[in-house]
Amino acid sequence: MPDQITKIYSSTPPLHTVYTDGSCINNGRHNAQCGSGLWIEDHDPLNCSFRVPGPFQSNQVGEIVAVILALQKIPPDTPLTIHTDSKYVIDSLTLHLTTWEDRGIFFRMAAFLLRRRSATTAFSWVKGHAGTIGNERADQKAKEGAEKSHFDTLDLRIPPSFNLQVAESNASLWLNSHRRNVSRKANQFLYRALHGSFKLARAICSYCNHHDESLSHILLDCHNHVVQHLWFLARSLWPHGDHTWPHLDLHAVLASSSFFLPPDILTSPNFDRQIQDSPVSSPTPESRGASRLLRILISETIYLIWVIRCEHAIQKRSHSHDELTRRWYQALNDRLNEDRYRTNKLLRTPAATSQLRHTWSATLLNPPHRWFIENEVLVGMTPPRTPT
């Protein structure tokens, strides 16, 4: 009787090894176009040359998109090793993923694809242009993608259950607003806005007669002189460059107490147009101060817009540009003096003094020496820029 032959079937799917790379023509210029390359083995149907769509075109974007393509093409229950010559990609998607996830849609998409995987995912660094066949093939694929004349289609849809930015609860936003960044009156306004207690959207705008006077219309969208002028004042006082001022919609405004500016954005004017090939550093006193000032500017501006709107709608008051400017600067100076009192009379610590200086110094016009310690009267804040 012949020996019995037994076949043993493994339930573990085979390991996939993928090489990824990015390439960019005219990197760093306005006419840059980038591509992504994916290579598994010769003649594999998953190999691809991809032209990255959208306004963000850089070598680093190509590297990240190549990883996104690999994660989309390989089943999530299959163990995967991604080989790349970019330490930037490896560090951003391992060491810094929770921090960099808020930097843009590509990082959010990569984070979603990594989190949904049930099998092991590993990253392996290979030295570029060192003769590694997989790396050379992926590099060639990326160059072919960058040379395409038309964009390819990239699926960047994230299910709401995985979209952590949207999933942040009203409770956490409310807790963040209780920092000392937001004044008591602005806090109360944010609380009511987050809980939907304002009876709006059924009235007609008292300024422009818009049929749907929603909170978004009141604070941001209405083209009346109050909204336009107060946001102009806020952006004019902001001392850290137009590239660091966020795009504001209603969700961003109500979550403004959670805003944080990475240190990189204060030193790179191209941060919002191109992902930088640099490691993420810890928050600095400068970035903490700038983030705090941004929260103050936005919260005080939206609260004053709301107050002025109520005075106009209920009391039928009109407000000149001079009055709007005076009241806005008065609100900011009140916040500044409150900060000075709290720092010098209540806290009296080097950390509190550092926070005060890095929040307000760049906004002041000819401040007295050691203004942040001594109780001298401040000359005032920098006047608004002349409209261009």
Domain residue ranges in the chain? 16-146, 170-363
Q: Are 92 and 64 in contact (CB under 8 A)?
A: yes
Locate the DSSP E strands across 31-90: 33-39, 48-51, 80-84
pTM, two decimals, is 0.58
Percentage above 70 pLDDT, the chain = 81
**Element of type H or E holding 124:** strand 121-125
Please tell me the predicted confidence (pLDDT) of residue 277: 35
**Element of type H or E holding 192:** helix 184-194
Please tell me the predicted confidence (pLDDT) of residue 270: 46
More confident residue, 31 or 68: 68
pLDDT band at 360; cut points 50, 70, 90: very high
Q: Is pLDDT at 19 greater than 90 in this prediction?
A: yes
Q: Which of 160, 183, 169, 193 is nearest to 292 (CA)?
A: 183
Q: Who contacts 134 (Cβ-Cβ below 8 Å, separation ≥6)?
A: 17, 19, 39, 83, 126
Please tell me the predicted confidence (pLDDT) of residue 295: 92
Please tell me the predicted confidence (pLDDT) of residue 10: 45
Average pLDDT over residues 62-71: 96
- Alpha-carbon distances of 375 from 285, 293, 331, 368, 371, rounded to whole Å: 23, 21, 19, 10, 7
Q: CATH homologous superfamily of domain 16-146?
A: Ribonuclease H-like superfamily/Ribonuclease H (3.30.420.10)
pLDDT band at 377; cut points 50, 70, 90: low
Look at the block and give the residue holding tokens 């032959």. 5
Percentage above 90 pLDDT, the chain = 43
Please tell me the predicted confidence (pLDDT) of residue 267: 63
Please tell me the predicted confidence (pLDDT) of residue 275: 37
Structure tokens at 97: 């993923």
pLDDT band at 149; cut points 50, 70, 90: very high
Please tell me the predicted confidence (pLDDT) of residue 82: 96
Q: Which of 296, 340, 371, 235 is nearest to 379 (CA)?
A: 371
Please tell me the predicted confidence (pLDDT) of residue 257: 79
Q: Which amino acid is at 247?
A: H
Q: Is pLDDT at 97 greater than 60 in this prediction?
A: yes
Angstrom distance (rounded) from CA 291 to CA 166: 21
Q: Is pLDDT at 49 greater than 80 in this prediction?
A: yes
- Alpha-carbon distances of 160 from 99, 168, 246, rounded to whole Å: 20, 11, 23
